[in-house]
């Protein structure tokens, strides 16, 4: 998948992969998030960091969760 071009399909794909990787219970916070609602470049960077790791410490998961909250536009 080419993530260079912002699209709703890419946002959906990235959020799905991140929630799967973290086995997030409260993934509903990211469901139906629209392209216009996110800082796409930050989302892609975060996805790339997360996808490179096989496991996460509790602290890393907390830090990534905090970063995920910054992808929303105000």
> What pLDDT digit, counting tens, does each position of 8-64 carry?
999 999 988 988 887 765 666 677 788 898 999 999 999 999 999 888 888 988 888
Please report, for residues 16, 24, 52, 69, the alpha-carbon distance to residue 29 in angstroms, rounded to integers and kept in the order given. Answer: 12, 10, 23, 10
* Rg of the Cα atoms in the chain: 12
Taking the complete model, does pTM exceed 0.75, yes or no? yes
Check: CB of residue 53 under 8 Å from CB of residue 9: no
For 56, which DSSP code? -
Which pLDDT belongs to residue 28? 66
CA distance 39 to 6: 10
pLDDT above 70 for 73: yes
């Amino acid at each position: 998948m080419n993530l260079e071009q912002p699209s709703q399909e890419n946002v959906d794909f990235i959020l799905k992969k991140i929630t799967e990787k973290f086995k997030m219970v409260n993934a509903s916070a990211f469901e139906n998030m629209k392209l216009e609602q996110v800082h796409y470049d930050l989302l892609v960077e975060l996805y790339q960091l997360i996808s490179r790791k096989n496991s996460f410490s509790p602290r890393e998961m907390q830090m990534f969760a905090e970063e995920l909250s910054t992808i929303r536009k105000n």
